[in-house]
Amino acid sequence: MGIDWQDGLLALGGAGGGVVIWALGPQHLQAARALQPEPLEPDLLLDTQLHRGWVSGVQLWRPEGTEDRFLLSSANDGVLGLWNLRRRLADARGDEGQASPGERPLAVGRAPGDAHGGSGIFSLHASAEGRVLTGGKDGGVALSRIGPAGICQVERRIEDAHGGRVIKSVRWAGDAKLFASSGDDGAIRVWDERSPQTALESQLTAGVNLLRWQETGGDASLLAGTCQDLVTRVLDLRRPDHPLASFAEPRSGRAGRLSPIFQASWVPHSRRLVTASEASGGLTVFDAGLENAPASWVRRTALEDARVGALMQTDMDGALPSPVLFVSGSKTVYVYSGGHNGDGSSDL
């Protein structure tokens, strides 16, 4: 499942190939915080099936220097699609000729056949410049570029990025010069896009389902990986031989065991990390700590909907006084916000 927010749009993809997009900006959350008697409801712009299998990733993308808006989506049907949202944004502005939310957006492009050979795509991440990383069932990592006519070519393909094992996550670092990959082999590999060899490798004790860099005003050398042994590990690329911190997910009282942790999201401008597993029944906040301050557990928040599908945090480009956390459950999207502690940090 994928989730993304950018410039007033919230996109969500999940089971059955469905993708939903709402117009949801700071004004909606400010109204909710003010407890207005008639809160602003986000406008539903899109609610349709774009794939024939579960959606592994969605990302909103705007070409630099333009007002155009696109949606990237990937799924286990092997398709990486690029969709034009121009008409959806016209709907949000109230222009004439509105499209139905169930109408498919215009397909601009898709991954070429040599990206993954039709195998399921399990992870997607695009840079601001339109360079798209994908990884999946075939064990390869592909780097494609979005051209004027859509996703037009594969610039690079790493055939056996993880010894032929399934790729679970790919992620650009903030400057889009380095990217990381992980999979069922338990390795986290960091690549320089200018070199055919790995720049760094860390071997963990369990498969790694998801990777997240700390990119927003924090420490860009920190990389978190959620592992199949129910432990989230944080690597410091300056000292990659041993994890900086390891967090074991608390066990839910409703279940004797947990499915592996799938989701994690850094709190913007901090060293705090929010994690959730599919059956944990809640969110857990950890602090990665510093050299002179050990990592620590911060708090846990229970959810009515125990099945957490995706997490995503944003400070909405500074429009809100503290960051918000979007949490997708099986039928509900939750929005959480942290308060300020007086020193500019958030208590999320």
Percent of the chain exceeding pLDDT 90 equals 29
Query: What's the mean pLDDT when you consider all of the chain?
Result: 81
> The pTM is what?
0.88
**H/E stretch holding 29:** helix 26-33
Residues in the chain: 348
pLDDT band at 93 (very low <50, low <70, confident <90, very high): low
Could you tell me if 107 and 82 are in contact, meaning their C-beta atoms sit under 8 angstroms apart?
yes
**31-87, pLDDT tens digit by residue?**
776 656 666 788 899 999 999 999 999 999 998 878 889 999 999 999 899 999 987
- Average pLDDT score over residue span 98-108: 76
* Helix residue ranges, H only, 39-96: 86-93
Q: What is the pLDDT of residue 345?
A: 41
97: number of Cβ within 10 Å: 7
- Between 130-144, 280-294, 322-336, the lowest mean confidence (pLDDT) is in 280-294
Which domains are present in the chain? 51-336 (2.130.10.10)
> Is the pLDDT reported for residue 9 higher than 90?
yes
User: pLDDT band at 346, cuts 50/70/90?
Assistant: very low
Cα separation, 226 vs 6, in Å, equals 24
